[in-house]
Copies of this chain bind each other. A is one copy, B any other.
């Protein structure tokens, strides 16, 4: 059964120390239902993506909390978690509920509230994405692992740090025009490589900020969608995959197998190839992840992903617009909500409702959400329905 996005709502991404999981979700849900013209009583299921509520907010059962606080009490509600890929998984599982016939109207919510906790607790929480026994127990954190991957990539392919900079410059340029982005500053040429190191060689301007936020999407059958809103966005395909949990277990450190599998399945289901995609929201938590994703999902040969940035082909009007609302780097990375933001941003582009961030003539877009250092991947290919 064909499934479409008929409503979108999001809170600005940032440090929301005055809001909890409740308030963030409520804002996004209200906006999405208004956008869809759907009443609370029409929602039959709620799927919530969240990564760290149990650890940082002392709150499990977040789907019930969101259902309760938004007035959906009684509805089927559950949470999914694949760390920062939780949002993409939530969208995929919401889609399954419609596709299986279990529900006609489903609400997907990604929500995360992490910035109120700083220091060791936050680091430990983020490290739960890694292998607790074989990585985190030895002090590894996600950014430290990203640093090692980047160092290896630079060595292996003879790439200099500054050659990644346009990924971040592009993200910040797009973020500067997005009212919901966390950062609105633009990056100057040269600033990226000169910025303080977070985990060498990853710098401050390379690493996406942890953030608070909530994004909601309303799903319905495509056959009904056209009567609900002017421009529905169809979920043309959806797929997920995993890789080894520990990075050291991979045969090839620099190949994102899960991204390759998820995107490959999504292309196959949709019957398209990468060149058919008009824009791509990928998981730019670090520029090394961006380069590796472009290589894993068919946009670049091995060792050449960085060239999309170096050749400046990733702007809104260029060959492959990426991070069109700022990406994780500038819009911010609200972990378990990120995948829902990504899909919502692609959908806004396909609706032609992206404002100053609009990609011209966008009809087919892709969202790729990653958990950990490539451990989980979820790909969605979305299409404008006319």
A residues with a Cβ closer than 8 A to B are: 1, 20, 22, 51-52, 54-55, 57-61, 63-65, 67-68, 72-83, 85, 89, 93, 95-97, 99-102, 124-125, 127-133, 136, 238-246, 249, 257-258, 261-262, 371-372, 375-376
Contact = CB atoms under 8 A, between A and B. Distances in A.
Contacts of A78: 80-82, 85, 89, 93, 240, 376
A371 B257 CA distance: 35
A15 to B, nearest CB: 19
A376 B127 CA distance: 29
A77 to B, nearest CB: 5
A376 B129 CA distance: 26
Q: Which 8 A-B pairs have the closest CB atoms?
A: A99-B100, A60-B128, A100-B100, A59-B132, A76-B240, A96-B96, A58-B132, A78-B89
Contacts of A96: 93, 96-97, 100, 102
Contacts of A85: 78
Contact of A375 (B61, B125, B128, B249): B61
A74 B258 contact: yes
A72 B83 CA distance: 19
Contacts of A80: 78-81, 93
Given A64-B242, A249-B68, A54 B128 contact: yes
Contacts of A242: 63-64, 67-68, 72-77
B81 A60 contact: yes
A58 B127 CA distance: 8
State the main secondary structure of chain A at its contact with B. Answer: mixed
B93 A245 contact: no
Contacts of A99: 100-102
A287 B309 CA distance: 62
Contacts of A57: 132
Contacts of A258: 74
Given A60-B83, A93-B96, A100-B100, A68 B128 contact: no
A77 B83 CA distance: 12
12 contacts: A22-B133, A52-B60, A54-B125, A55-B55, A61-B81, A64-B244, A64-B376, A65-B245, A74-B241, A74-B243, A78-B80, A78-B82
B97 A65 contact: no
Contacts of A64: 82, 242-245, 371-372, 375-376
A148 to B, nearest CB: 18
Given A60-B129, A64-B371, A100-B99, A76 B244 contact: no
